[in-house]
Structure 1
Amino acid sequence: MARKAVVQELSRERILDEARLLFAEHGYQALTMRSIAKAMGYSHGALYYHFKEKADLFYTLVNRDFNMLLDRQREMLARTRMGDLGQLQKLMQEFIHFGLENPYHYEIMFMINNSELQLYSRTEQAQCLELFATVVRSVIASNPGNEHKMYTLPWSLFMSMHGFISYNIRYQQSYEDVKKLAEQHVKFLSEGLLY
């Protein structure tokens, strides 16, 4: 009985890992549970054993990916001082690093263009943006006279990082390929907070 449970858990992990690649490569609409199962060498019944529908499979992926990103960011924030420009720079660098080292995760989390699917990730995207905005606002608050930037600047900075990540994913650049450029990008963006 214990052996069967282990096999089922591994099977679920394999489904998630391979489905992520398929969603990123073919898009959500092009795939069915049957086509996902066929690509993996499973019967579609094996997928339905673990997931009630394609949307459930997709949401499980999105939820795991956002939790992984948020856990990494929270861990990094716990080691740094709130309101410090260096903390913001580390958070931005961590976000870029995550996106470029996990391009399939990032595409599913932020780049799939489907209104139905965006409903599945809206809460998680909001949590990610709010964590980032909290750090940006703490840096802004430590520099009097910049209060007018409190609500627009976090979004602008986030979109600048998203553009950097998306561009480099498009050209299949890893984090190591563009590490120096990423560091300069983060420095340029974060130093703009001081003025």
Structure 2
Amino acid sequence: MSPRKAVVHELSRERILAEAQELFATQGYRNLTMRSIAKGMGYSHGALYYHFKDKGELFYTLVKENFNLLLEMQRAWVVQAPPGDLANLEQMMLEFIRFGLEHPHHYEIMFVITDPELRKYSRTEQAECLDLFAEAVHSVLAGRPDEKQKAFSLPWSLFMSMHGFITYCISFGQTFEDAEKLAQDHVRYLCRGIL
């Protein structure tokens, strides 16, 4: 019996994530299988299953890092902003749009895909993102005569408007750079509506 061949690059969880990140970004979630990911890395697909139970878990692990980044940014905006700061809310909204357009595949899995395999993975983080955004909107509404009337519907409407902007741009392959001026105007018009 011959001795086992030495593996030049050990197939670690971190290596899988690093290489899968690029594959997902260039080919998209739906176009890949665990078999094609492993083949692209020069391994058998069984090697991936040692670390991840399915493609959804693998991709969600990557996306969770992006949720953490987005949540960290949102928390900073909420904590650092003076109460009722409309300019901070505008910046928060613009940065959300930037995030979506700079990470279109991740945005899709975070907020768009309805695949049952993936649904179970991101609901908690979605809710947390929406809650932090609502907190920033509520801060701007505080003390206004229509505060209670708008407390539920306004954050949701603003989010849906940003979401629509992002998904529209993604569907036409636009980057944030392509749409930046329009995004700034969009956010400004939305925030004027609050006043």
Shorter-chain TM band? 0.7 to 0.9
Residues 154 and 187 of structure 1: is their aligned pair in 2 closer, same or farther, counting only changes over 3 Å? same
Give the corresponding residue for 2:16.
12
Most deviating of 185-194 and 12-21? 12-21
In the alignment, residue 144 of structure 1 is paired with which amino acid? P
* Alignment match, 1:54: 55
Pick closer, same or farther for the CA change 1:51–1:19 going to 2, 3 Å.
farther
Q: CA deviation at 1:9?
A: 5.6
Identity of aligned residues (%): 54
Pairwise mapping of residues 61-72 of structure 1 onto structure 2 (< 5 A)? 61-72=62-73
CA contact (8 A) 1:15 1:47 kept: no
The question of 1:166 aligning with 2:167 is answered yes
TM-aligned CA deviation for residue 181 of structure 1: 0.7
Is the aligned partner of 1:134 residue 2:135?
yes
**Deviation at residue 37 of structure 1 after TM alignment:** 1.3
Q: Unmatched 5+ residue regions in structure 2?
A: 1-7
State the match for 1:99 in structure 2. 100
In structure 1, what is the equivalent of residue 78 of structure 2? 77
CA distance in 1, matches of 2:154, 2:171: 26
What RMSD, in angstroms, separates the aligned Cα atoms of the two structures? 2.4
Indicate how the Cα distance of structure 1 residues 88 and 11 shifts in structure 2: closer, same or farther if over 3 A, else same. same
State the one-letter code of the partner of 1:93.
L
Tell me whether 1:187 sits opposite 2:188 in the alignment. yes
Distance in 1 (CA, whole Å) between partners of 2:41 and 2:10 is 19
Contact kept in structure 2, 1:73 and 1:94, CA below 8 Å = no
Q: In 1, Cα distance between the equivalents of 2:20 and 2:129?
A: 22
Deviation at 1:58, TM superposition (A): 2.7
Q: Which amino acid aligns with 1:38?
A: K
Report how many residues are paired: 188
* Cα separation, partners in 2 of 1:46 and 1:143, compared to 1, 3 Å: same
Deviations 1:97-120 (A, max 9, x none): 111111121111112121341221
Q: After superposition, what is the alpha-carbon deviation per residue over 1:57-97, rounded to whole angstroms, capped at 9, x for unaligned?
A: 13312322211111122233343223211111111011001
The worse-fitting range, judged by mean Cα deviation, of 136-145 and 174-183 is 136-145
| CA distance in 1 between partners of 2:143 and 2:101 (Å) | 31
- Match for residue 179 of structure 2? 178
* Residues 93 and 162, structure 2, Cα contact 8 Å, conserved in 1: yes
State the Cα distance separating 1:31 from its structure 2 match: 4.2
The one-letter amino acid of 1:162's match is H
Larger relative helix fraction:
1
- Runs (5+) with no aligned partner, structure 1: none
SS at match of 1:123: helix
Instruction: Classify the secondary structure of the residue corresponding to 1:50.
Output: coil
What residue in structure 1 maps to residue 90 of structure 2?
A: 89
**What is the match of residue 25 of structure 1?**
28
Matches of 2:80 and 2:150 in 1, distance apart?
26
Shift of 1:124: 0.8
In 1, are the aligned partners of 2:134 and 2:155 still within 8 Å (CA)?
yes
